Amino acid sequence: MNRIPRRAFAAAAVSAAALLTAMAPASAQEALKVGATFLLGSTDPTAGSAGWALASHGIGEKLFMVDKDGKLVPELAARAERSGELEWTVTLRSDRYFSDGTPVTAAAIGEGFTNTFEKSKTAAATGGKLTFETVDGLTLKVTTEKPVPLIQALFAEWPLVAYTLNDAGEAVYTGPYAIAELKADSHLELAPNAHFDGTERSPITLRKFGDAQTMALAFEAGELDLAFGLPSEVLSRLKANAGLTVKSFQVGYQYFGFLNIARPAFSDPMVRQAVDLAIDRDQLVAAINGGQPATGAFAPYFPFAPIEPRMSDLEKAAGLLDEAGWTLGPDGMREKDGQPLRIEAFAYPQRPDLVTMLPVVKAALAKVGIDVGTQVVENLNEVAASGEFDIFLWAQHTAPSGDPAFFLNSMLRSDGPLNHARYGSDEFDAIIAGFSTSGDIERRAGIALDAQQKLFEDVPVTFLVSPAWHVGVSERLSGYEPWGSDYHVIRPDMGETR
């Protein structure tokens, strides 16, 4: 048997070392593992809340966005200028490409938006159905159905993710990542979009967890680089583990309860006001271990959020119920004409905080003699649309575009597409109609404050908590700073490898 010459052995060793060195960057290219309790359900940008999920997952972009300072800034657009009462000129950024390598043009973007407005009613909530006309390569003429004083805010709304349709009729996006594989309810494999900005990025695996507790376990097991939306009850356990980092941040979401005005118990505004006064927000905050009592419809950092937290006053609540004719029975519960004051309160598990809040609400209302039945349902949109509830605890980002109009228009206007409270007030509608005539930021904030004052009087909604959320990050993502609630979970800077 021939012996291997020393020189050849040395050469082989050097080659092997070189090979190993060459392989080292590959580990940096390992997929980042992200966990969340939500996942894109469909690649159709007009289906359900896909527009939001696509932007949140780093696949899609919008023409304008709200940045980490809460400011409305251009994203895929360069600027937008008003050219008539219903007309706007939008100029797109140059040198931008879709993930298939085709350039972003006014015609391509217009085609995508036209498809959206043909199919999605939610997209039309603020400005009605929009039409698009190509002026030149990067300039679009946009015509709205209703006057829109701040088109930038409209184009930052979640249904309006920008895309074009390829020859197969599939949507193609512009974000830093492209969909490599989507397994509904399980995981999403994201590949870096080579045409985004030339920066190399790691691929990302986004895994959906059925519940936040399980996701916390996965984070503890070292399986996740980012666990988005950790439940508050595990925070102390996670923080005690030196190898794990947990970051908390104020979000634009608000936790509130729709009070269904179409139901007999809540047809009387005094009963609704009593419910609003009876709920102790401090106890809710303590129960979910984060956040602060709501001051109104918007997170407190927005200029259109009221300053004072919503009041709790059991005595006043009891007085209102007395005045409304609901008298205390010998069992401490209220009744009128022999009928008990019983209501059904709902929450949904996709936002675990709401489920935690449900028994706290029940206990608070029991103190003023209201009997509350509680139910947790997964099909929240179904139940909300059916109207088979009295109180529905809800989590909603109420200013995703940095502007108050979308939430108030879509969820509380008489003919709003998501008016789950069945609220109908000409006076309220007249107040928020001001949004369509004024583009001045301060004036719009004033309209929002007036609208909220009206809501405090009529109480179709009881505003409860402005929450803080929690994320867990591995050492690899230790620089990740959460912002923008869950609207920008996966961001361009996250997977950069150089």
Partner 1 sequence: MTAHIVRIGLRSAASLLAVSALAFLVVAFMPSDPVMIAIRAWNLPVDETTISALRTEWGLDRPFPARYLSWLADFVTGDWGRSFRTGEPVLDEFSSRLPLSLGIGLGGLTLAAFAAIPLGFAAALKPDGVADRLSRLLAITVQAVPAFWLGLVLIWVLGVQLRLISPFSAGIDVMALAGGLVALHSTGMLARVYRRDLIEQTMQPYYRTALAKGLTRRQALWRHGHSSALYALLSAMRSEAGWAIGTTAALEVLFGLPGVSQFLVQSISARDHSVLLAYIMVVAGWMLAMNAGVELAMRRLDPRAAR
Stretch that binds partner 1, among 93-101, 170-178, 215-223, 401-409 (CB under 8 A): 215-223
Nearer CB in complex with partner 1: 186/453: 186
Nearer CB in complex with partner 1: 47/355: 47
From residue 364 to residue 383, what is the string marking binding to partner 1 with x (rule CB under 8 A)?
A: -------------xxx-xx-
Q: Is 223 in the site for partner 1 (CB under 8 A)?
A: yes
Backbone phi and psi for residue 324, each to the nearest 5 degrees, phi listed first? -80, 0
Nearer CB in complex with partner 1: 114/134: 114
Residues 382-401 that bind partner 1 (CB under 8 A): 382, 385
CB of 215 to partner 1, least distance (A): 8
Q: Is 186 in the site for partner 1 (CB under 8 A)?
A: yes
> Considering only residues 10, 28, 79, 183, which one is a binding residue for partner 1 as defined by CB under 8 A?
183
405 CB-side CA count, 13 A = 30
Residue 480 and residue 491: Cα distance in Å, rounded?
10
Residues 118-177 that bind partner 1 (CB under 8 A): 119-123, 159
Nearer CB in complex with partner 1: 306/416: 416
Tokens of 128: 């009605």
Residue 296 and residue 461: Cα distance in Å, rounded?
10
Stretch that binds partner 1, among 78-86, 185-193, 266-274, 336-344 (CB under 8 A): 185-193
Q: Is 43 in the site for partner 1 (CB under 8 A)?
A: yes
A 10 A CB-CB count for 233 gives 15
Q: Is 46 in the site for partner 1 (CB under 8 A)?
A: yes
Q: Is 221 in the site for partner 1 (CB under 8 A)?
A: yes
CB of 30 to partner 1, least distance (A): 13
Nearer CB in complex with partner 1: 43/139: 43
What is the identity of the amino acid at 203? P
From residue 2 to residue 41, what is the string marking binding to partner 1 with x (rule CB under 8 A)?
A: ---------------------------------x-----x
CB of 186 to partner 1, least distance (A): 4
Residue 225 and residue 219: Cα distance in Å, rounded?
8
> Considering only residues 207, 351, 413, 444, which one is a binding residue for partner 1 as defined by CB under 8 A?
207
A 10 A CB-CB count for 457 gives 13
Stretch that binds partner 1, among 204-212, 255-263, 427-435, 449-457 (CB under 8 A): 204-212
Residue 123 and residue 322: Cα distance in Å, rounded?
44
Whether 192 contacts 9, CB under 8 Å: no
Q: Is 239 in the site for partner 1 (CB under 8 A)?
A: no
- Pick the closest to residue 141 from 172, 107, 164, 112 (CA basis): 107
* Number of amino acids touching partner 1 (CB under 8 A): 37
Q: Is 48 in the site for partner 1 (CB under 8 A)?
A: yes
Nearer CB in complex with partner 1: 264/417: 417
CB of 423 to partner 1, least distance (A): 17
> Considering only residues 185, 308, 315, 475, which one is a binding residue for partner 1 as defined by CB under 8 A?
185
Residue 65 and residue 80: Cα distance in Å, rounded?
13
CB of 223 to partner 1, least distance (A): 5
> Considering only residues 96, 201, 208, 351, which one is a binding residue for partner 1 as defined by CB under 8 A?
208
List of residues contacting partner 1 (CB under 8 A): 35, 41-44, 46-48, 119-123, 159, 183-187, 207-210, 214, 217-218, 220-223, 377-379, 381-382, 385, 417
